[in-house]
Structure 1
Amino acid sequence: METQLDYAAVRAAADRTAGAVRPAAVVPAAEGVWYALEYLQHTGSFKARGAHNFLAAHRAAGTLPAAGVTIASGGNAGLACAWAARAQDVPATVFLPANAPRVKVERLRGYGADVRLVGDRYAEALAACQEFAAASGALASHAYDHPLIAAGAGTLLDEMRDALPGLDAVVVAVGGGGLFAGVATAAREHGVRVIAAEPEHCRALNAALEAGRPVDVPVASVAADSLGATRVSADALAAARHDHVESVLVADADITAARRALWEEHRIVVEAGAATALAALRAAPTPPGKRIAVVLCGANTDPADLTAPAPGAA
């Protein structure tokens, strides 16, 4: 089915996801700053929004095959895909490298997914996924690079505006760009400024803006498990070219400090990727607005390192 990412697509996604996803909880954190607790979403991340929208749109169009959906992802996208497939009562076949952590494999199986372990690199799992889709007729999904996925993620922006009237800036972490593209598309409609935060060494969007096109980048960051896309989507680059968007790079040390601060100050446990958004705000020389929402986008992480003494502590 042909789709494009625009505000109408985000509104259509809101209709499809209503009642299926948890509305965003927005809570005050500091003067002028609120946290959007999207880590409380089904499957532990914002990815549930896009996954549900993707499958529900195909269901409505009559293009959701009996063979179900397939994806190569052991992270948040794979979990969301399996969850959404279960809700649509179709099979989900998820491909992972054979060395994927057992906890991820078991959680995927808990959502009813058929987990296929192939090779020892993501590229091998992806190739197997593509072969399976071609042979079985299963619908191939993507972690971030599809207008329906991005539009589903973009529903978060209007929910934040409903919860926080007068919102004038939102800070969001960027990996492949699905969440950012959807949020920025909706934000542009309402004149809301968007700060796109990336680790210094996972800078797919920043590099694309610099080059004028999506380019491959090396990936090496404490947040690489969730933000480590080697190339940003074309939709994300298009959204970032508008003057209401600012691209910001964040050091790993600042990301780690922001993640620990969320735990120590609020007892919030999030992934390093989610903490990247807060790190960008903490490092900003001046606040990007008077009413700022920081998206804490996922919490599929091991909290053990947060409860250990900080480096250098007595």
Structure 2
Amino acid sequence: MHELAYDDIASAKTRVTGYVRPVTVAPVEPGPGEKHQVWLALEYMQHTGSFKARGARNFIQAHRDAGTFPDAGVTIASGGNAGLACAWAAQQQGVPATVFLPAGAPPVKVARLRRLGADVRLVGAEYAEALAACEDFTAATGALASHAYDHPLIAAGAGTLLDEIRAHVPGLDTVVVAVGGGGLFAGVATAAERHGIRTVAAEPAGCRALNAGLEAGRPVDVGVDSVAADSLGARRASSMALAVAQREHARSVLAADEEIVEARRELWDQRRVAVEHGAATALAALTSRDGYRPDDGERVCVVLCGANTDPSDLV
């Protein structure tokens, strides 16, 4: 296993700067009696609608620089967002992308993938089945296999987000990120630890791969049953993410589906922000019954990581 280091994130910054959109950060007005400060990192405004563009750009550029890009192009299995980012980064480089998704992937994501020129393959009911098909395709064609989260280049690219947030929020104490397989968490938490910042890993109670891995002391398979499963529905968190989660500056919290739905609706009602349930999971970590409770004076940033969603159920 590659142990992610801050140097990996610094290298990623040189590959993604000028190609990804710098994050916008917005303050949240404190509620009655609240004595901590909260900001929202609007990373859903990133290319392809999620943070995944950072890792995809880093992954493809690193292989371009190394001269290791095959004629067959790049392939990836994804719940949707990583596939979109991979297709976007491949299009920027003029290389073919073949994307494997579960058959139940949101139509909005499938349509966008095809507009980006990707060859879309819908396979199975879950991400794990799409991944198996992708692995078979890689073996048969020699395509470069990317990954939705379990690759150091992908995680390091995602980690470039943290220093951008710090530039907006001096004295940041805590950053909250949603977790599926753990790529965003691994990258952000690695960068955050470098600066003495806590990272809160937020997961749906029905998709708790990282939380279960922490309990077991090793990566384990979990069931996938959540309203946020289309983006956070990994059966197993990466070893890389688990290693970071076991460190002192990390916390793991869970939110129930109804709490995630409420957080998503609150973002729409109060701010006219329409995000995925997966992104709303990070906000739910602060509002859920068993969530994270900031101390007085604590400076917290919640990452809203993706908005590839159908907003029709918000009105």
TM-score between the two structures when normalised by the length of structure 2: 0.92
Q: Percent identity?
A: 70
Q: State how 1:160-239 maps to structure 2 within 5 Å.
A: 160-239=165-244
CA deviation after TM superposition for structure 1 residue 130, in Å = 1.6
Does the CA contact (< 8 Å) of 2:20 and 2:53 recur in 1? Answer: yes
Deviates more, 1:177-186 or 1:117-126: 117-126
Aligned residue identity for 1:75: G
> Structure 1 residues 97 and 253, CA, compared in 2 at 3 Å: closer, same or farther?
closer
Render the CA deviation track for 1:127-165: whole Å, top value 9, x for unaligned: 332222122221011100001000000000000001111
Between the aligned partners of 1:99 and 1:57, the Cα distance in structure 2 is 32
Residue 302 of structure 1 is aligned with which of 288, 299, 310?
Answer: 310
Structure 1 residues not aligned, in runs of 5+:
308-314
Does the CA contact (< 8 Å) of 2:106 and 2:230 recur in 1? Answer: no
> Structure 1 residues 247 and 106, CA, compared in 2 at 3 Å: closer, same or farther?
same
Q: Which residue number in structure 1 is paired with residue 63 of structure 2?
A: 58
CA deviation after TM superposition for structure 1 residue 119, in Å = 5.2
> Structure 1 residues 123 and 249, CA, compared in 2 at 3 Å: closer, same or farther?
closer
Does the CA contact (< 8 Å) of 1:5 and 1:148 recur in 2? Answer: no
Aligned residue identity for 1:12: S
Q: State how 1:1-314 maps to structure 2 within 5 Å.
A: 4-31=3-30, 32-98=37-103, 100-118=105-123, 122-283=127-288, 284=291, 286-288=293-295, 290-307=298-315
Does the CA contact (< 8 Å) of 1:74 and 1:105 recur in 2? Answer: no
Aligned residue identity for 2:243: A
Q: SS at 1:230's partner residue?
A: coil
Aligned residue identity for 1:15: T
User: Number of residue pairs matched?
Assistant: 306
CA deviation after TM superposition for structure 1 residue 294, in Å = 0.4
Render the CA deviation track for 1:187-224: whole Å, top value 9, x for unaligned: 00000011111111111111101000000011111111
TM-score between the two structures when normalised by the length of structure 1: 0.93
Does the CA contact (< 8 Å) of 2:149 and 2:155 recur in 1? Answer: yes
Q: SS at 2:313's partner residue?
A: helix
Between the aligned partners of 2:269 and 2:141, the Cα distance in structure 1 is 49
Does the CA contact (< 8 Å) of 1:50 and 1:153 recur in 2? Answer: yes
> Structure 1 residues 292 and 101, CA, compared in 2 at 3 Å: closer, same or farther?
closer
Between the aligned partners of 2:22 and 2:240, the Cα distance in structure 1 is 24
Render the CA deviation track for 1:91-120: whole Å, top value 9, x for unaligned: 101123456554333211111112234456
CA deviation after TM superposition for structure 1 residue 185, in Å = 0.3
